[in-house]
Amino acid sequence: MPTTTHRIHNFSAGPCTLPLEVLEQVADQFPDYAGEGMSIIEMSHRSKTVAGVFEEAQSLVRELLAVPEDMHVLFLGGGATFQFGMIPMNLLQGGKSADYTHSGAWAKKAIADAKTVGTVNLVFDGTDANFTTLPDPASVRAGDDAVYLHLTSNETIGGLQWKDFPAIDTPIVADMSSDIMSRPIDFEKFGIVYAGAQKNIGPAGCALVLIKQSVVDQCPGDLINYLNYANHVKGQSMANTPPVFQVYLIKLVMEWLKAKGGIAWAKDMADQRSQLLYDAVQRHAGFYTCPVDERYRSTMNVVFTTPSADLDAKFVEEALAHGMSGLKGHRSVGGCRASIYNAMPIEGAKALAGFMDDFAQRNG
């Protein structure tokens, strides 16, 4: 097993830090996977070995999240962005409509793509509040003719997270790219849950899609091959040559998560890490500001500002010198952002909270 000598705390929003144990395992297994004399990305995707990796990745996702029997587990190319369009292409053609919640930058992209196919009704629009808050889930109602209601469970840029979901009969379709695997999901409410892999699951370029059979039954037969969910279900995520490396890493990350204690462990750690950082903001209220409504603050992406853009830049630069990278806020909003996904060790959050104290004392 190779030994890694240089690692820093990587607070990037995605791609982001992955478990060191997994990276070392990949390095160790890579040139000669399972004694086959070749790496996994050189093998036929029709081989028993690759099929076995897919089956295992799928069954680990199913086990960890307690995905119900009537829901398929798919790994699809194109990331979460592709799902923004694929969902309406499958469900909204022929003048159908869906309800969307506009919670920030990622919801906006999902809405824009859905509008190219069908009718979009906004049941929540956070624009006026600058996307710092969400509706009370109990107050969200779906329209009578809505095929589904779409929400973004965690806005990665805004640091805003749904803590509970609307109790409606209409199936919910959720983009869980940046908080899947960080808390349990009650799948009863959901028709589709999708997530780009590059935060809590593995490398970019692949989306995990959990889709109920009742939704697959609605997919039109005349869609082009790759767009139709029914084809991916039938082909067990191998309707075309699939992203094998991504799924292999997903399998390893899921094994790592299971060994750590699964979703209960992930939730506990996410709560602890985020609390450390929000407490640091609170200790220095007046120096640090988190614009997000306290009820909906994300456990995955902690956003905050210092008193000026110059100090924000200084914070990011000095943090890097202290071995903490990726703390610059998204270019569209500025400020600072600490992304603390499952693979971020608690020591990383402690180091950052300590640095926040020190920085505020020196510059406040």
Ligand X SMILES: Cc1ncc(COP(=O)(O)O)c(C=O)c1O
Binding to ligand X in span 107-136, by CB under 6 A: none
Contact pick of 85, 126, 196, 335 for ligand X (by CB under 6 A): 196
Does 175 bind ligand X (CB under 6 A)? Our answer is: yes
> Smallest distance, Å, CB 158 to ligand X?
10
Catalytic residue among 113, 175, 179, 312: 175
Contact pick of 17, 58, 103, 177 for ligand X (by CB under 6 A): 177
Does 80 bind ligand X (CB under 6 A)? Our answer is: yes
Looking at the Cβ atoms of 8 and 204, the one nearer to ligand X is: 204
> Smallest distance, Å, CB 80 to ligand X?
3
Binding to ligand X in span 1-20, by CB under 6 A: 14
Annotation says 199 is catalytic: yes
Contact pick of 11, 33, 54, 106 for ligand X (by CB under 6 A): 106
Binding pattern for the stretch 248-287 against ligand X, x by CB under 6 A and - elsewhere: ----------------------------------------
> Smallest distance, Å, CB 259 to ligand X?
26
Does 81 bind ligand X (CB under 6 A)? Our answer is: yes
Looking at the Cβ atoms of 113 and 284, the one nearer to ligand X is: 113
Does 246 bind ligand X (CB under 6 A)? Our answer is: no
Binding segment for ligand X among 59-67, 78-86, 158-166, 345-353 (CB under 6 A)?
78-86
Annotation says 293 is catalytic: no
Joined tokens for residue 226: 């790759």
Catalytic residues: 106, 175, 199
Query: Where along the sequence are the contacts to ligand X (CB under 6 A)?
Result: 14, 79-81, 106, 152, 156, 175, 177-178, 196, 204
